[in-house]
Chains A and B, each alone.
Chain A
Amino acid sequence: MDANALIQSIAQSSDRQAFVKLFDHFAPRVKALLMRQGTPADLAEELAQETLLMVWRKAALFDPTRAGASTWIAAIARNLRIDAARREKRSRLPDVFDILQGEEPEQPDQVFDGSERDSRVRAALTSLSPDQLRVVQLAFMEGLSHQDVAKRLSIPLGTVKSRLRLAMARMRGSLEDLR
């Protein structure tokens, strides 16, 4: 499945079949991602549907040179989760994230393809041990403090910090020329 092409097909011709393919692939994963981040199953189901509806509506905004499809969709899911968590008061933070994602890179020599960055990050993750991966997931994807990561995994704070340090050193190694 070429997710980039499917999104572009929605943008160009409101392609409903492309939507079905994207939904079947991504909605169950977005739901799983949201559940990992502590969203209850029924809300995660609802937000996963909303995320894919947003992909339909915002397909014209998708720019594969900035980020790959998975990264873009994960960011949409994050914004909807923030909004849902504060639904009564309607957070404006999702708009702020949209503004930041619309930012163009500044210097031409810093421009690299967002999809390339995505695949490098993916490759870097595979070099981690399961223990390191779990710590990276909690600290970076779920945004827990180091203290909370230690509590969640019932390991000492020092162990969290050293695992993160090792994991980042490994990842930095494979991402070096991107920064």
Chain B
Amino acid sequence: MSHRPSGETLAAFAAGRLDEGLALVVAAHVEINPRTRQDLAELDALSGAFLDTIEPEPMGVDARSLSMALPHRVEDVPARPAAPPDAAGLAVLAPYALGRWQSVGRGVALRRVDVPNSEARVFMLRAQPGTRLPAHRHTGAEWTTIVAGAYQHEYGRYAAGDFDEADDRHAHTPVVDPREGCTCIVALTGTVRFEGMIGRLLQPFVRL
């Protein structure tokens, strides 16, 4: 079974109403997942259809005079921006600055994605095969797109291209695929609370 954003989430994304950090994680999923890419194209077509049927509003400017001031050259087709090195090939990360990979405990490394307009913290996470992440819950949203490999938790198995939309109702203990490991991109709002002894010890160091 594949995990994808809810219709409501994708519609808010298409309309440009999502927080930029959360939107970036949805964009990563759209980049990887062809089915969601089709759904997005359909939502865009819906906007186009509304544009055709809408009652026009008169403009205050004359097109003819505006056309005199047009720049002469039209733009060439730009090359698709290259994904930043080591961002697991994600082109949607190209407009953003990436931090350095940092180890945050055994088998887990993390690199920050700098999204200046966001309420959310965004980062890429890489976990070695078989890593068991400490049980935790959130006060806000935790949205994840799996870029490579897989993990499994109480709500199912999430593999490359899947989207995991958790909120404060979910407590989970992700276990990383024993063969492939896992690379994902995550946006977090609110705070993360680790549970149990090891989690509490870890808390001050992980500061997600």
- The binding surface of chain B is classed by DSSP as helix
- A42-59 to B contact mask, C-beta < 8 Å, 1/0: 001100110011001111
- A26-38 to B contact mask, C-beta < 8 Å, 1/0: 1111111101110
| Contacts between the two chains (Cβ within 8 Å), count | 212
Cα separation A102 to B40 with both chains bound (whole Å): 13
- In the complex, A10 has a CB within 8 A of chain B: yes
CB-CB nearest in chain A for B16? A82
- In the complex, A108 has a CB within 8 A of chain B: no
Q: Which of B72-80, B150-158, B163-171 sits within the interface?
A: B72-80
B50 touches A33 (CB 8 A): yes
Contacting A at CB under 8 A, from B58-115, are: 58-61, 63-64, 66-68, 70-78, 80-81, 91-92, 94-96, 115
- In the complex, B43 has a CB within 8 A of chain A: yes
B70 touches A67 (CB 8 A): no
A96 touches B27 (CB 8 A): yes
Instruction: Enumerate chain B residues within 8 angstroms of A114, measured Cβ to Cβ.
Output: 41, 45
Instruction: Enumerate chain A residues within 8 angstroms of B68, measured Cβ to Cβ.
Output: 16
The smallest beta-carbon distance between B73 and chain A, in angstroms, is 7
CB-CB nearest in chain B for A146? B8
B54 touches A49 (CB 8 A): no
User: A143 contacts which of B13, B41, B52, B59 (Cβ < 8 Å)?
Assistant: B13
Q: Give 4 A-B pairs besides A92-B115, A96-B23, A143-B13 with Cβ atoms closer than 8 angstroms.
A: A52-B66, A105-B37, A125-B53, A140-B43
Q: What are the 3 tightest A-B residue pairs by CB atom distance, in nearest-first order?
A: A143-B15, A71-B48, A28-B56
Task: Give the interface of A toward B (CB within 8 A).
Answer: 10-11, 14, 16-17, 19-20, 23-24, 26-33, 35-37, 41, 44-45, 48-49, 52-53, 56-61, 66-75, 78-79, 81-82, 85-86, 89, 91-93, 95-97, 99-100, 102-103, 105-107, 110, 114, 117-118, 121-122, 125, 136-137, 139-146, 168, 175, 178-179
